[in-house]
Structure 1
């Protein structure tokens, strides 16, 4: 600024001098002199040293019990964001993106519960001057979770009809958030989708039966998902399982016969007895969901039971459960004359067996060749079609509806 003032003074002196030196020649003639114009030498404006960009970070510094879903927002006025970094206590960075206009940033996913985060942001104004801001906050630790549990054991081998069934102890309100938090990794690229039965159960399956040998891993990322107001999913885990060989059995109630097809080849035709009139077996595709070498079966709770028709059997052998309502394929030693001849059960599929079970019986051989997840389809029964929620019977729902 001092140099500018000096230059202005000098310019003024030059103008005055030119005006005073207008004179004639020695010969007495006169010569007209062209005056020199004055130069503007106003002082230059000072350059700013502080950025005009104003950063704003939410949540505010020191915030506690922050909900993990979309809490972080970074914005700037009078500038453009250049850097935004959000990290947890271990230095793991939260992915996010700056908006196209450069004035805001949001994370690409929710944060984790019970975690401290640090936010560092920078922005530049029109002159390139940079402003910085930092903040830290802690997300809430849930008081309760929804208690999710499924029917999968790590590393287990299942049949080609296996359906993954996930049940919650609390009603789920945000079903879309739950579905987003569950992904399936399949070795053959099979697409797996979920279908809800009420507010506490969601089942998952591919469009068609699994391909034998497929390796599957379920990725649960629900711990930080708010499934209902103030209730969180409660689990972050990976569960691998494998699909074994294919075994699909068809029970023809009219013929009193079960045909067993393994890997595309018929391996057995087994005489059976199915549900008698009034206790007709379900039609439709079912899946073996539980297996027990011996189990107890009772008529208690079975509708339609009349006096004298009650039963309570505590040692039913080779029992393979198909439905929640109590349909089994099981060994039968008390009605062996019915096998292949007539229907005598209360809805189950009976297969000839010894009193306490024999590995060499039809029931024993079928049991020992079976897996949880194997398919059993019942046809030609006078009973109704099994509901999709009853056991793992979701294969009775077409893919478009599923």
Structure 2
């Protein structure tokens, strides 16, 4: 089109309304692009008003319905709506289909916090997206997440079908530091030392990961089998008490009733962090029971001075081991 033709084109205001009375106001010369994606399987009414240089107006009205997709995806997220979590818990979404249009999907997930803090997303592969601030959440922060995925094309021909609001609250700040050399864990609540606990960690050849790890699952009792983590038949303990998961690969901080005098003295585990306990976990005064009762999902456990490397940020909710610059790339 020539420059003269562009100048002669009438200024146009386009208003689109869906059948839920949401309004999308768009301005352009000859074409219109919505400021946000349109929902799938939704009827929209178009009101177009054109005005020429002489002030004369013309109006047109039409309607269209967006497609009903055959292939869809949703995001399975944590934490749950209405939950209270520790300061290390990211908002994590796992998608039911691999995403090849990550920018469109990420843009459709909006996060608001009180008090306000910058929250950024990071993709782990093509099916997981985690959001976190630069530092641990401030205690008491209220987080509202809007999942506006309905109609978003996540990959060619595959559209989101999810529109949901999720709210959660950050609880008190608890960060526990395990020193592999001293065989002790220092538990800090809101910056103050709450308790120091003797522990045992991974023995040589089975060293515990270094780094910042987030409690992602809490189990009063669970079975731990070496075959599930690649250790063959080295152990099969059917009643491990007070177990709290730190990695997807099988690192826990848990009660240990078989460790003898290892706690505070030497490292004897296959990579987990063990705290003194009793079989059946019935004694609420032992270290493992106390720590379990005083922990929540999202609390942070930091391991230092191990001979192993730092835990992979994708292994659990452990993105805190990435620098902010790497996280936001």
TM (normalized to structure 2)?
0.93
Superposed CA offset, 1:224-247 (max 9, x none): 110001111221111100001111
1:259 corresponding residue in structure 2:
186
What is the CA–CA distance in structure 1 between the aligned matches of 2:93 and 2:212, rounded to whole Å?
Answer: 20
Structure 1 counterpart of 2:3: none
SS where residue 103 of structure 2 aligns? helix
- Distance in 1 (CA, whole Å) between partners of 2:167 and 2:243 is 26
Contact in 1 for aligned 2:214/2:301 (Cα 8 Å) = yes
CA distance in 1, matches of 2:140, 2:27: 40
Q: In the TM superposition, what are the counterparts of 1:94-109 in structure 2 within 5 Å?
A: 94-99=24-29, 103-109=30-36
- The alignment yields a C-alpha RMSD, in angstroms, of 1.8
**Larger strand percent:** 2
Q: Secondary structure at 1:300's aligned position in 2?
A: helix
Secondary structure of the corresponding residue to residue 189 of structure 1? coil
Q: How many residues align?
A: 322
Helix, strand or coil for the counterpart of 2:72?
coil
2:181 aligned counterpart, secondary structure: coil
1:146 and 1:342 map into 2 onto residues whose CA distance is 49
Q: Distance in 1 between matches of 2:92 and 2:56?
A: 56
* Structure 1 partner of 2:235: 311
User: Is the alpha carbon distance of 1:270 and 1:97 closer, same or farther for their aligned partners in structure 2, counting shifts above 3 Å?
Assistant: same
Aligned residue in 2 for 1:320: 244
- Offset at residue 92 of structure 1 (A): 2.8
Match of 1:66 in 2: none
Distance (Å, rounded) in 2 between the aligned partners of 1:162 and 1:116:
39
| Segment of structure 1 superposing worse, 130-139 or 210-219 | 130-139
User: Corresponding residue for 2:153?
Assistant: 226
| Native 8 Å contact 1:97 1:107 kept in 2 | no
Q: Structure 1 length normalisation: TM-score?
A: 0.77
Task: Extract structure 1 runs of 4+ deviating beyond 6 A.
Answer: none
In 1: Cα distance, 2:130 partner to 2:204 partner: 32
2:265 is aligned, of 334, 341, 345, to 341
Partner of 1:130: 57
Distance 1:118 1:335, change over 3 A: same
Shift of 1:163: 1.4
What 5-or-longer segments of structure 1 have no aligned partner? 1-75
CA apart distance, 1:353: 0.4
* Structure 2 unmatched runs, 5+: 1-5
Equivalent-residue separation in structure 2 for 1:87 and 1:174 (angstroms): 26
Match of 2:16 in 1: 86
Which secondary structure state, in structure 2, belongs to the residue aligned with residue 97 of structure 1? strand
**1:174-253 residue pairs with structure 2 within 5 A?**
174-253=101-180
Give 2:298's aligned residue.
373
In 1, the alpha carbon distance for the partners of 2:186 and 2:177 equals 5
Return the alpha-carbon distance in structure 1 between the equivalents of residues 22 and 317 of structure 2: 40
Higher RCO (CA < 8 A, seq sep 6+): 2
Q: What's the secondary structure of 2:117's corresponding residue?
A: coil
Question: Which residue number in structure 2 is paired with residue 52 of structure 1?
Answer: none
1:395 equivalenced with 2:320 (yes/no): yes
Q: 1:295 aligns with which of 222, 226, 236?
A: 222
Cα separation, partners in 2 of 1:319 and 1:123, compared to 1, 3 Å: same
1:164 corresponding residue in structure 2: 91
Which residue does the alignment assign to 1:45? none
